[in-house]
Amino acid sequence: MDPRFDVELVSVTKRYGQTVAVDDISLRIPRGTYCCLLGPSGCGKTTTLRMIAGHEAISDGDILIHGENVSDLTPIKRGTAMMFQSYALFPHMNCLDNVAFSLKMRGVAKKERHAKAREFLDLVHMGNYAERLPAQLSGGQQQRIALARALINKPHVLLLDEPLSALDPFLRTKVREELKRLQRELGITFIHVTHSQDEAMALADLMVVMEAGHIRQAAHPRDIFERPVSPFIAKFIGSHNVLHVDQGPIAVRADRCRLGSAEEGPHVRGEVIAVEYQGAMVRVALKTERGDEVSALVPDQLFYRKQAEPGEAATLVWAEEDIHALAEA
Amino acid sequence: MANDRISEKRPWTFYALAILFGAFLLFLYGPMLVIYLLSFQGENGGVTFPMTGFSLVWFGEVFQKGQMADLPVSFGRSMALASLVCTLTVVISVAAGLAFRRRFPGSGVLFYLAVASLVMPSLLVGFGIGLGFQFLGLETSLFTSALGAQLTWTLPFGLFAMFAVVNRFNRAWEEAATDLGASAWQRLRYVTLPILAPGIFGVAMGAFTLSYDEYARTTLTIGAKNTLPLEIYALISSATSPTLFAVGTMTTAISFTAILVTLLILGRMNRRRNLVKA
């Protein structure tokens, strides 16, 4: 077995009849990685997760976990555990029995499994809620129970299907921090499906951007943000302007752009179509003469020294060194 | 629009519909109330008003030897048949309801066959089964032809009820169970069935009630020994005394008790689950 990787996907393909949901993807996830699968809806990220989990059969290719080919194994034998989008807590069992469920299935005696379940409830700070039913808990609390239930089997890999989408924005940031802390403490690999770039950027050691059943780029979020490979990636992760120049498409980060005049260097002319105050920054959106929509994230002080109004003509300028060439889409 | 202001007063249509509903209730329960009242008719009274007094003598009459002697026995038959019908309906329609969550070859045909069984004139179904038994030289009886005839009615009902029950079932619960190492049997035993329990219980009560007072399909398939509704119907044409009313009062009491118990149990099941939603 290869000790370097927790999960390896080898030419994995999923077909539903004629449609190809996941097309020949390969990926290696190193030990103890927080990996985010990111992409627009329908890109195959959830299908990929479900194939790793063993809830979806693979049409072609292989999945290895800790070096072992698990393609035909049941979820429990793979050493994976999944946290479902809606948490899927059993509504007729209290939290303790929910968490102890897998031990019960293995025939562990009641006293022993309850003791173990309490241990995991404490791990997620839900020790005081053992007797509650899921319906009596808030979304965030339900999520912790689901987490404890998934972790009690000591999985090699925890799979999370859009775990934060059901939470309100404030809670989302908090739970995000907790997930990251937990992953670091447990030292196991988390694979987290999301459609939010913010979430992936904040959490991931390895960010995998998918589109139309393919992996378009897989790297550390910082590498992806600084060196997106294609116009799709640059647009999808946001805060990038994709422009078409003679040499081909280029990306320039919106926070490296400002409003100025043509003499200052590389630039594009356009008309201001929106001005959004965002606190520390002001986002000015322009439509270029070619029809591209671009924007500049301008520090508020700078913006209010020389304001722009929608409808005005303006020139977006940036420095030569901030240009990042993209592969043709 | 002339009347486009928001007002605290209810519109006249509210009162019109309330009166209509009141009339409906009266129409539904009025005649039954008369029967319940007359079942307590005095000893010398008849099947119509006025009441000549108040007595329980007609209830006693039901259990006396004589004309009515078969009532308790036929009640026993009805209960036995209804229990069996209820059990079979639950087992088959729960299994079918779970199966119908996915399309399978022939699922469309099967569905329409079930619908057809519901809309088929019930008397004809009974007639057909009776004829079929005669044709095959079999004797019609309680637990063969009558059982089959009733199942043609309760099974489609059970299946459709299960559609509604299964509809609210989240597949992720089953996947979670599998993910946590449950075998197919454990998943059914510890997750699927307990979550569906209130709905399954409803199907059971529905099937029981449908069987218990089924008439049209049973009458031509029952053979020599009657169920309670058939027995009562036979008595209506021959006997005229408040004893029949007493029978009506008693069977109604049994039905209402069953409904009450059902509601209590369902209420408990739901309370356990939905506590503190508010």
pLDDT in tens, B66-119: 666 677 888 889 999 999 999 999 999 999 999 998 888 988 998 998 888 888
CB nearest to A92's CB, from B183, B273, B276: B273
CB nearest to A86's CB, from B172, B181, B277: B172
Q: What are phi and psi of B21, to 5 degrees?
A: -65, -40
Among the listed residues B171, B219, B186, the one whose alpha carbon sits nearest the alpha carbon of residue B74: B219
Which stretches within A18-58 are classed as H helix? 45-53
Residue A255, domain CATH: 2.40.50.140
pLDDT at B277: 40
A184, A247: one domain:
no
A114, A263: one domain:
no
A80, A21: one domain:
yes
Interface test with B, best of A16, A92, A108, A165 (most B CBs within 10 A): A92
A159, A201: one domain:
yes
Interface test with A, best of B168, B178, B179 (most A CBs within 10 A): B179
Our count of domains for chain B comes to: 1
Of all residues in chain B, the one with the smallest CA distance to A146 is: B176
Whether residue A232 lies inside any domain: the answer is no
Whether residue B191 lies inside any domain: the answer is yes
pLDDT tens track, chain A, 329 positions: 567 889 999 999 999 989 999 999 999 999 999 999 999 998 999 999 999 999 999 999 999 999 899 999 999 899 999 999 889 999 999 999 999 999 999 999 999 999 999 999 999 999 999 999 999 998 889 999 999 999 998 999 999 999 988 888 888 898 899 999 999 999 999 999 999 999 999 999 999 999 999 999 999 999 999 999 998 999 898 888 888 877 788 899 988 888 888 888 888 888 999 999 988 899 999 998 888 888 889 888 888 888 888 888 888 888 888 888 888 75
A43, A161: one domain:
yes
A95, A208: one domain:
yes
Our count of domains for chain A comes to: 2
CB nearest to A81's CB, from B170, B179, B183: B179
A55, A132: one domain:
yes
Task: Tell me if the bond preceding B50 is cis, omega within 30° of 0.
Answer: yes
Binary contact (B172, A105; C-beta < 8 A): no
Residue B121, domain CATH: 1.10.3720.10
Domain final residue, candidates A226, A249, A283? A226
Domain final residue, candidates A226, A252, A270? A226
Whether residue B36 lies inside any domain: the answer is no
pTM score, whole prediction: 0.80
Could you tell me the residue range of the domain that residue B126 belongs to? 66-273
A167, A201: one domain:
yes
Whether residue B203 lies inside any domain: the answer is yes
Structure tokens, A61: 């290719």
Q: How far is CA B61 from CA A76, B57, B77, B147, B245, in A?
A: 67, 6, 20, 30, 11
CB of A215 closer than 8 Å to CB of A38 = no
**How many beta-carbon contacts under 8 Å exist across A and B?**
74
Binary contact (B172, A133; C-beta < 8 A): no
A157, A243: one domain:
no
Percent of chain B with pLDDT over 70: 94
Binary contact (B176, A82; C-beta < 8 A): yes
Whether residue B23 lies inside any domain: the answer is no
3-state secondary structure (DSSP) of residue A93: coil
pLDDT at A126: 92
Q: What is the ipTM of this complex?
A: 0.85
Q: What value does the CA radius of gyration of chain A take, rounded to a whole number of Å? A: 23
CB of B121 closer than 8 Å to CB of B217 = no
Of all residues in chain B, the one with the smallest CA distance to A81 is: B179
Residue A22, domain CATH: 3.40.50.300
What residue ranges in A102-144 does DSSP mark as E strands? none
